[in-house]
Amino acid sequence: MADGFALEVVTPDRLIVDAPAAALVLRTTEGEMTVLDGHTSLVAAVVPGIVRVDPVEGEPVRLAVHGGFLQVDTSPADRGDGPAGLATRVTLLAGIAELADEIDVERARRAREAAAEHIGGGHPDRSDDEKPSVDEEAAAGELARAELRLEAAGATPAQPG
Amino acid sequence: MAGGTERALRRRIRSVQSTKKITRAFELIAASQIVRAQNRIAANRPFRQGMARIVLEAAEGGPGAEKLIGTPEDPKQVAIVAIVGDRGLSGPYNSSVLRATESLVIEHRRRDADVRLVTVGRKAVAYFRFRGRDVTESFIGMSDRPSFADARRVAAELWHRFDADEVDLVQLVSTRYLSAGRQNVETVQLLPLPDPTGAKGAEGETPERAPTDAEARGGYTEFEPDVETLVAILMPRALESEVFSALLEASASEHAARQRAMAAATENADELVQLLSRTMNRARQDAITNEIMEIVGGAEALRTAKGA
């Protein structure tokens, strides 16, 4: 049990985290939760937010995860090496996710400004056309992502090991 | 006259040689793209398998939503997605997908189903326009290097129509990348999601550890939120993942097909140059022989004239 559980954080083009972890903290549609070794099997929808990984070795890692799914799979270990006879495998799938350390703060800041401007400068109801609302929706998504990135990155230095 | 043939052949050889340089360059470019495309498929695999596991879990989790998982018996509104390339010079790559699509359309029409076409790749637009088929929506500019955002755009279009009950079956025709030497045109069902708990054959790529897990666990899994809501959130995302994988494989297949086609063209050019060189040499030799004959003939005539 001291080994923690197998954790994978995966995006469509990259395996971001692939290491044994002691704890995983994230927010699902039902609220904040922490996954520890031996957690019941679970499938959950993860809402956009900051995810913290406490690896077995090394310092906690923060990620900005822009929505995704979590699968916890605790089942009898095939090779039976765990003391409880159970092995926990955790997979976090996200369309977009990035490590806090890898976030380009300048870029996120610019993106936030651009998106905010787009929303602010949007013309009031051109009711005959659907296009503006779609655009605005995209800008709102962009804004939310930029803010989440900044939050994830901005807090990093304030977090000593 | 004889000198003219030689000159014409020489020009021809030069032109074939410069064509060969071009096909050779295309071949090398395609070869380097294959490696990159292959790496991207490999990088996508964990996500694809993870998504398949979650979908399986959700499908086993309960009745959920019948509309979302399973195969409709007699679909009346079908959407077909065809993925091809933006460019030609890739041998039979584009046409084999388009032909498969065409026959699928005919098959659905025969049972009186309404068919909409959604295409990815510039070549598809030209093909269907020429045949007078209506293309509902077309995407271009993503076949060379598909990004996840591209997949999202395609998936959003499909999901939108499916969710609004405009279509009750979405199928995908694309090229699957098996290895550098083998690519197959395949038709798969995108929506509703094919039932992963049933015969696993249809999908091809099933997560290798999933079946044993489901048995071993004795079927108890929690869902957050409840299964129905979760499935409703999951489906569009699973669709994006499917489309992305298909785009990646199609892109790798296109590069592989182009490399093969261009290698064949380069080889042809080589043969042609060889053949033309031979013909040219013969022509030159004939011309020289002719000239000698003329000189000898002339000298002979002069001597005869002097002697007389």
Question: Is residue B67 very low, low, confident or very high in pLDDT (cuts 50, 70, 90)?
Answer: low
The predicted-structure confidence for B69-89, as pLDDT tens digits, reads as follows 777 878 889 999 999 999 989
Chain-chain contact of B46 with A75 (C-beta, under 8 angstroms): no
The predicted-structure confidence for B131-157, as pLDDT tens digits, reads as follows 888 899 999 999 889 999 999 999 999
Domain ranges of chain B: 2-25+267-307, 28-261
Residue the block writes with tokens 């090394």: A58
The whole-angstrom distance between B218's CA and the closest CA on chain A is 9
Better-predicted residue by pLDDT, B27 or A82? B27
User: Is the CB of residue A9 less than 8 Å from the CB of residue A94?
Assistant: yes
A73 contacts chain B (CB < 8 A): yes
Does residue A159 surpass a pLDDT of 80?
no
Domain ranges of chain A: 5-101, 104-154
A11 contacts chain B (CB < 8 A): yes
Average pLDDT over residues B266-276: 95
What share of chain B in percent tops pLDDT 70? 89
Of residues A13, A42, A68, nearest to B148 (C-beta): A13
What share of chain A in percent tops pLDDT 70? 80
pLDDT recorded at residue A2? 54
Number of other residues whose CB lies within 10 A of the CB of residue B288: 11
Does residue B247 surpass a pLDDT of 70?
yes
A54 contacts chain B (CB < 8 A): no
Question: Is residue A157 very low, low, confident or very high in pLDDT (cuts 50, 70, 90)?
Answer: very low
Of residues A8, A78, A95, nearest to B148 (C-beta): A95
Distance CA B197, CA B61 (A): 11
Chain-chain contact of B222 with A15 (C-beta, under 8 angstroms): no
Helix (H) or strand (E) holding B149: helix B148-163
The predicted-structure confidence for B13-62, as pLDDT tens digits, reads as follows 999 999 999 999 999 999 999 999 999 999 999 999 999 999 888 887 76
* Of B267, B249, B258, B246, the residue nearest B92 (C-alpha): B258
The predicted-structure confidence for A1-55, as pLDDT tens digits, reads as follows 457 899 999 999 999 999 999 999 999 998 999 999 988 889 999 999 999 999 9
Name the token pair of A132.
């503006």
Chain-chain contact of B50 with A11 (C-beta, under 8 angstroms): no
N-terminal to C-terminal alpha carbon distance within chain B: 34
The predicted-structure confidence for B197-216, as pLDDT tens digits, reads as follows 654 444 444 444 444 444 44
Residue the block writes with tokens 């033309």: B276
The whole-angstrom distance between B187's CA and the closest CA on chain A is 22
Question: Is residue B226 very low, low, confident or very high in pLDDT (cuts 50, 70, 90)?
Answer: confident
DSSP tag of A19: E
Enumerate the residues of chain A whose CB falls inside 8 A of the CB of residue B47.
10-13, 93
Report DSSP letters for B192-216, one per residue.
SBP-TTS-TTTTS---TTHHHHHHH
* A-chain residue closest to B232, CA distance: A45
User: Is the CB of residue B192 less than 8 Å from the CB of residue B70?
Assistant: yes
Average pLDDT over residues B209-231: 66
Question: Length of chain A, please?
Answer: 161
pLDDT recorded at residue A93? 95
Q: What is the pTM of this model?
A: 0.84
Number of other residues whose CB lies within 10 A of the CB of residue A122: 14
What's the CATH superfamily of A5-101?
F0F1 ATP synthase delta/epsilon subunit, N-terminal (2.60.15.10)
Chain-chain contact of B230 with A75 (C-beta, under 8 angstroms): no
pLDDT recorded at residue A35? 93
B58 contacts chain A (CB < 8 A): yes
Helix (H) or strand (E) holding B189: strand B182-191
Question: Is residue B267 very low, low, confident or very high in pLDDT (cuts 50, 70, 90)?
Answer: very high
Residue of A41, A65, A88 to mutate, interface with B, max B Cβ within 10 Å:
A41
The predicted-structure confidence for A57-79, as pLDDT tens digits, reads as follows 889 999 999 999 999 988 776 54
Enumerate the residues of chain B whose CB falls inside 8 A of the CB of residue A8.
46, 50
Cross-strand pairs, A26? A33
Enumerate the residues of chain B whose CB falls inside 8 A of the CB of residue A78.
212
Enumerate the residues of chain A whose CB falls inside 8 A of the CB of residue B51.
69, 93
pLDDT recorded at residue A38? 86
A42 contacts chain B (CB < 8 A): yes
Decide the pairing of beta strands A61-65 and A68-76.
Answer: unpaired
Is there a cis peptide before residue B225, judged by omega within 30 degrees of 0? yes
Query: Which CATH fold topology does B28-261 show?
Result: Pyruvate Kinase; Chain: A, domain 1 (3.40.1380)
